[in-house]
């Protein structure tokens, strides 16, 4: 059968993995029964463990689900330590359920798969050698990709049941009160990890910085924590930030950023009290800069900025151009530092950020969002998971979640090198075209015909040519030609969930 | 059979109400399976309800459990509004499960009982006309009295399953982000209410102050809230605070406060980094004043002050004499205002404060606590629930919870009017003598003989005569004589739980 975005999904796959096919972006008024952990009651004076090895030995068992967060990004020094100990312990058949996987973890994940230690993975995404290995069939079971909101939903409803969470923090006291804001490895918001802390049966904090009791603010508090483990270093401060804190000088990126900015400022949403999410990366930072100027010029102030936060966004907060920053993760040191200083920068967990099955997530109040894409098809569907070669090299992140904003703009170059971004048929679908309103490229924009209101409002912006998505696709094809079809093997290596837990796509093994 | 504090409890009562007898103050390393609410998924742009009457009509059903918090104390304007509508709606057989009941609610609770609207009550306590009515048999089922930590435990483990929570807040946005810190009815910490917000199936916020979205800090956040109801006024600011912000001039209270202070400052716990809970009331404020001077004189700084907080305590924070204030409720406007200004004053929920079935509550790290008593017996057991006439006129509050501190001091006058405080046999037992270390009266102190270390350390303090508890009891009897025995009817009107959910006492109906 075909799901709502036209993806052919076999009944077999649906049955075997327990899925309903994706049926639309609308979330109904369902009742979501939440689950809760089993709490190991503890009344001693300290939770500081003698060694990480002991904690692993005494708590991790064959078949369990273990989790990590990715707030330390490429600077993470937690995952590899813990996973090596688990492999050494000879533990098998684990489900690895981190908020996401970064490149620094790749070798160790591959090692753990090869050792039979990890047999299932659910993640926001994966890249590099791991994505490559998984795409070529390394993992015995398909990876389940979930958005940040989807992961929150899955944890809250018990689809992901975490037995032991290993969470790196830049500070903690002996009872487990911790936050992400101070210490050598400070990374700001603990947004994703807050879910693990609340729902895992056992919570292990790893920190290089044990501070006086009681530690405040306690984003994670002692009622959630079983062990505190002192390690030499939880993260490399130089690699924690994305690095991309300077504005791009790439003329193509600047051009796209100008298009995006023009779309926003000419839309009916650009008015006092509007809200936005820009994300990270060079183009996003450039948009923020242009937007800042437009806000000053037109005396417009935003009610909130949402999502993954960068310093240019916290600068808007300091300048009074944005009233609140709702912060699920910080992409650079500047944003992380700001959270500690500015009470208007509120730490939010990923449920509050984006869980579709709750009493209202922040994304449901979002006016404008700028999102990226690996590929876009002529139905405005977006792929952020697989490259043009069919290999996994991305992450859903908050893509599906934030795409529910009133004005969702995909910012992408028409072509990347010799590869088209806008294509007739993508290697996989992550976010339904239903929720995409505008595609902005360096040549001009395409507006989703489902949004005739926007067609009217955005069709005569100076310097912003409007094309149909088919025209943009043709322009891309004219530059790079038609792609060579990929040869797949009939074996799923990954299942891409929509944020509501339905199946939006099945990613197949790529032939060598 | 007799429980561990010697209270005769019939097998019938244990069976009928599903209790184990109190067996000791120690909490084992059990596993506590938590429960979770059913979430009604909501994705609309606003939760502001058209009327409170509609919300009641559409959400409250016969037999449900409803809850309220008591942070607005005698200034509460929420409870009476809601309960009148529920009575008007003809709803029957509710369980009323507030964090506590204040006098301003008494008439309405009595009305609701008489109407058959409320047939079960669980609370921290009750006073005045309600305590009197219940003690004389008004309620068809026994009230269950739980400590603040016990209530948190009961909610987290499903013993209390709240269907609808009605929570008054001094500010909220249209999606339900709210805190207790600003607005006309500001009361500071939402500590008790945070449990209801997290565990109730439906959460209704009542506020007189709808603010811009998104409202931060969000002690309660939008993922927890179903409705926001605008009311004229949630509380009378003049009655929210306890009023007792000035130091007592009563010579007896000052004398007791001096005794308490001497005990603390001569104990081994009075050193850098110590922690304490003083509570409210004239004597407690006086203790805080004396303690402040001793801290200055001896250059001692506390790591944290805990519990219900008063301005004299937040003053210590401002002065740097206390590093952190861990705040589950504020007793006066000064303390409430301070929370908004000083990030070192951390809002904590009642689980974090005191739940014995979690991964460590703040009370388990507490060095020194000063608690009050209605009666104390010669086994050091304390009664804070019933008067010498057997009538309910008190509340457990955090009494049982904080009594687990390393040094628990009961501060009480030897006699009150013509009634002895220290008696051979109390009208009910709330807190086991096991957890009480010192009783301080205006005449001198008694030290629990189980604490021979303290007997040694505290027996030669200038101006602090040491007696046995029997001697103090005799002195009281010498002044006021023997009390007339109370006539009870063999019908339980209230069950007093110990914090772990075992039955510590059964309070019987008083004969007219």
pLDDT of A431 strictly over 70:
yes
Q: Given A40, A212, A217, which is nearest B31 (Cβ)?
A: A40
Alpha-carbon distances, residue B457 vs B291, B300, B302, B451 (angstroms): 18, 19, 21, 10
For chains A and B, what is the number of CB pairs under 8 angstroms?
A: 172
pLDDT digits (tens, 9 = 90+) for A354-410: 999 999 999 999 999 999 999 999 999 999 999 999 999 999 999 999 999 999 999
Phi, psi of A334 (to 5 degrees): -60, -45
Query: What's B416's DSSP letter?
Result: E
Q: Three-state DSSP class for B32?
A: strand
- Chain B residues whose beta carbon lies within 8 Å of the beta carbon of residue A216: 324, 343-344, 346
Cβ-Cβ contacts under 8 Å for A346 (sequence gap 6 or more): A324, A325, A326, A327, B214, B216, B217, B218
**Structure-token match 């807190």, residue found:** B431
What DSSP string runs through B65-120?
EEE---TTGGGB-SHHHHHHHHHHTT--SEEE--S---GGGHHHHHHHHHTTSEEE
Best mutation site among A167, A223, A228 for testing chain B: the one with the most B CBs within 10 Å? A223
As given in the structure block, the two tokens for residue B496 are: 């007093």
* Gap between the Cα atoms of A327 and A340, Å rounded: 12
As given in the structure block, the two tokens for residue B409 are: 């001091």
Tell me the pTM: 0.97
pLDDT of residue B127: 97
- Chain B residues whose beta carbon lies within 8 Å of the beta carbon of residue A39: 31-34, 156, 357-359
Verify whether the Cβ–Cβ distance B352 to A226 is below 8 Å: no
Verify whether the Cβ–Cβ distance A31 to B43 is below 8 Å: no
Q: Three-state DSSP class for A409?
A: strand
Helix (H) or strand (E) holding B376: strand B375-377
Which among B171, B173, B176, B174 is positioned nearest to B203, based on CA atoms?
B176
Verify whether the Cβ–Cβ distance B214 to A304 is below 8 Å: yes
Helix (H) or strand (E) holding B107: helix B106-114
Q: Given A37, A47, A351, which is nearest B223 (Cβ)?
A: A351
- Arithmetic mean of pLDDT, A179-193: 97
Domain ranges, ordered by start, for chain B = 59-239, 251-487
Residue A243 pLDDT grade (very low, low, confident, very high; cuts 50, 70, 90): low
Which among B145, B153, B126, B123 is positioned nearest to B353, based on CA atoms?
B153
Alpha-carbon distances, residue A358 vs B162, B282, B407 (angstroms): 18, 45, 44
ipTM attached to this prediction: 0.96
Cβ-Cβ contacts under 8 Å for A31 (sequence gap 6 or more): B38, B39, B40, B41
Verify whether the Cβ–Cβ distance B343 to A216 is below 8 Å: yes
Measured between CA atoms, how close is A265 to chain B, in angstroms?
21
Q: Given A42, A323, A358, which is nearest B41 (Cβ)?
A: A358
Measured between CA atoms, the residue of chain A closest to residue B352 is A223
Measured between CA atoms, how close is A378 to chain B, in angstroms?
29
Verify whether the Cβ–Cβ distance A29 to B35 is below 8 Å: no
Start-to-end C-alpha separation, chain B: 28
- To the nearest 10°, the Cα dihedral for A493, A494, A495, A498? -160
**Structure-token match 């400590």, residue found:** B147
- Helices (H) and strands (E) in chain A — how many of each? 16, 27
Same fold, B59-239 and B251-487: yes
- Chain A residues whose beta carbon lies within 8 Å of the beta carbon of residue B152: none
pLDDT of residue A482: 84
Measured between CA atoms, how close is A478 to chain B, in angstroms?
43
Given a contact cutoff of 8 angstroms between Cβ atoms, the answer to whether A472 and A443 are in contact is yes
pLDDT digits (tens, 9 = 90+) for A307-316: 999 999 999 9
Beta bridge partners of B144: B122, B495
pLDDT digits (tens, 9 = 90+) for A133-160: 999 999 999 999 999 999 999 999 999 9
- Chain A residues whose beta carbon lies within 8 Å of the beta carbon of residue B38: 31-34
* CA R_g for chain B: 22
* Gap between the Cα atoms of B268 and A364, Å rounded: 55
* Gap between the Cα atoms of B239 and B507, Å rounded: 31
Given a contact cutoff of 8 angstroms between Cβ atoms, the answer to whether B32 and B156 are in contact is yes
Best mutation site among B223, B327, B356 for testing chain A: the one with the most A CBs within 10 Å? B223
Q: Given B176, B343, B360, which is nearest A223 (Cβ)?
A: B360
Query: What's A20's DSSP letter?
Result: P
Phi, psi of A496 (to 5 degrees): -100, 115
- To the nearest 10°, the Cα dihedral for B3, B6, B8, B13? -30
Measured between CA atoms, the residue of chain B closest to residue A31 is B40
Q: Given A40, A45, A358, which is nearest B359 (Cβ)?
A: A40
Q: What percentage of chain A has pLDDT greater than the value 90?
A: 93
- To the nearest 10°, the Cα dihedral for A234, A237, A241, A245? 170
Alpha helices in A360-491 (DSSP H): 399-402, 452-458, 469-480
Measured between CA atoms, how close is A206 to chain B, in angstroms?
17
Verify whether the Cβ–Cβ distance A365 to B218 is below 8 Å: no
* Gap between the Cα atoms of B284 and B277, Å rounded: 9
> Directed axis angle between helix B311-319 and helix B333-341, to 10°?
40
pLDDT digits (tens, 9 = 90+) for B131-188: 999 999 999 999 999 999 999 999 999 999 999 999 999 999 999 999 999 999 999 9
Verify whether the Cβ–Cβ distance B41 to A32 is below 8 Å: yes
Neighbours of B131 (CB within 10 A): 25
As given in the structure block, the two tokens for residue A34 are: 């939440």
pLDDT of B31 strictly over 80:
yes
Verify whether the Cβ–Cβ distance B359 to A32 is below 8 Å: no
pLDDT of residue A246: 65
- Chain A residues whose beta carbon lies within 8 Å of the beta carbon of residue B36: 33-36
Q: Given B323, B343, B358, which is nearest A217 (Cβ)?
A: B343
Is B59-239 a domain of CATH 3.40.1080.10? yes
Verify whether the Cβ–Cβ distance A27 to B41 is below 8 Å: yes
pLDDT of residue B237: 83
Given a contact cutoff of 8 angstroms between Cβ atoms, the answer to whether A419 and A483 are in contact is yes
- Arithmetic mean of pLDDT, B372-397: 97
Best mutation site among B30, B41, B218 for testing chain A: the one with the most A CBs within 10 Å? B41
pLDDT of B71 strictly over 90:
yes
pLDDT digits (tens, 9 = 90+) for A71-117: 999 999 999 999 999 999 999 999 999 999 999 999 999 999 999 99
Verify whether the Cβ–Cβ distance B214 to A27 is below 8 Å: no
For A468-499, letters b (16+ CB in 10 Å) and e give ebebbbbbbbeebeebeeeebeeebbbbbbbb
CATH topology of domain A251-487: Glutaconate Coenzyme A-transferase (3.40.1080)
Omega prior to A341 cis, within 30 of 0: no
**Structure-token match 């310093």, residue found:** A311
Omega prior to A214 cis, within 30 of 0: yes
Verify whether the Cβ–Cβ distance A360 to B175 is below 8 Å: yes
pLDDT of A237 strictly over 90:
no
Q: What percentage of chain A has pLDDT greater than the value 70?
A: 99
Measured between CA atoms, how close is A302 to chain B, in angstroms?
11
SS3 content of chain B, % helix, strand, coil (to 5): 30, 25, 45
Alpha carbon A497 to its chain's center: 13
Given a contact cutoff of 8 angstroms between Cβ atoms, the answer to whether A227 and A412 are in contact is no
- Chain B residues whose beta carbon lies within 8 Å of the beta carbon of residue A351: 223
Question: Kindly report the CA angle at B450 between B448 and B456, in degrees rounded to 5?
Answer: 75
- Arithmetic mean of pLDDT, B89-112: 98
């Amino acid at each position: 059968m075909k799901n709502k975005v036209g993806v052919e999904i076999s009944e077999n796959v649906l049955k075997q993995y327990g899925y309903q096919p994706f049926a639309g972006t609308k979330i109904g008024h369902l009742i979501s029964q939440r689950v809760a952990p089993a709490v190991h009651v503890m009344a001693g004076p300290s939770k500081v463990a003698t060694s990480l090895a002991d904690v692993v030995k005494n708590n991790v068992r064959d078949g369990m689900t273990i989790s990590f967060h990715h707030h330390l990004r490429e600077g993470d020094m937690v995952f590899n330590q813990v996973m090596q100990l688990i492999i050494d312990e000879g533990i098998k058949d684990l489900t690895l359920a981190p908020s996401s996987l970064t490149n620094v973890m790749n070798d160790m994940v591959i090692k753990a798969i090869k050792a039979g230690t990890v047999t299932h993975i659910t993640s926001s995404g994966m890249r590099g050698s791991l994505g490559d290995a998984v795409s070529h069939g390394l993992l015995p079971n398909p990876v389940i990709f979930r958005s940040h909101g989807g992961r929150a939903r899955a944890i809250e409803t018990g689809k992901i049941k975490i037995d032991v969470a290993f969470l790196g923090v830049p500070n903690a006291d002996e009872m487990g009160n911790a936050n992400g804001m101070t210490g050598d490895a400070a990374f700001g918001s603990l947004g994703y990890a807050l879910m693990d802390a609340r729902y895992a049966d056992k919570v292990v904090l790893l920190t290089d910085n044990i501070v006086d009791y009681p530690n405040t603010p306690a984003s994670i508090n002692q009622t959630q924590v079983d062990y505190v483990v002192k390690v030499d270093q939880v993260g490399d401060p130089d690699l924690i930030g994305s690095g991309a804190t300077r504005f791009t000088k790439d003329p193509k990126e600047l051009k796209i950023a100008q298009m995006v900015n023009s779309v926003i400022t000419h839309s009916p949403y650009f008015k006092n009290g509007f809200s936005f999410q820009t994300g990270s990366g060079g183009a996003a930072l450039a948009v923020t800069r242009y937007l800042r100027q437009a806000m000053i010029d037109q005396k417009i102030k935003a009610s909130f900025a949402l999502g993954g936060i960068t310093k240019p966004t916290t600068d808007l907060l300091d300048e009074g151009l944005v009233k609140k920053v709702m912060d699920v993760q910080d992409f650079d040191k500047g944003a992380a530092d700001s959270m500690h200083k500015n009470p208007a920068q509120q730490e939010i967990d990923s449920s509050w950020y984006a869980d579709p099955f709750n009493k209202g997530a922040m994304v449901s109040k979002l006016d404008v969002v700028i999102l990226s894409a690996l590929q876009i098809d002529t139905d405005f569907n977006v792929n952020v998971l697989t490259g043009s070669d069919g290999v996994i090299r991305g992450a859903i992140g908050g893509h599906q979640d934030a795409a529910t904003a009133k004005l969702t703009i995909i910012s992408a170059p028409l072509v990347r090198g010799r590869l088209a971004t806008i294509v007739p048929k993508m290697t996989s679908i992550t976010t339904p075209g239903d929720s995409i309103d505008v595609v902005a490229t360096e040549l001009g924009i395409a507006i989703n015909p489902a949004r005739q209101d926007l067609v009217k409002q955005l069709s005569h912006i100076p310097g912003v040519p409007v094309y149909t998505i088919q025209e943009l696709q043709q322009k891309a094809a004219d530059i790079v030609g038609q792609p060579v079809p990929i040869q797949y093997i009939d074996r799923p290596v990954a299942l891409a969930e929509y944020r509501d837990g339905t199946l939006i796509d099945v990613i197949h093994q790529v032939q060598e």
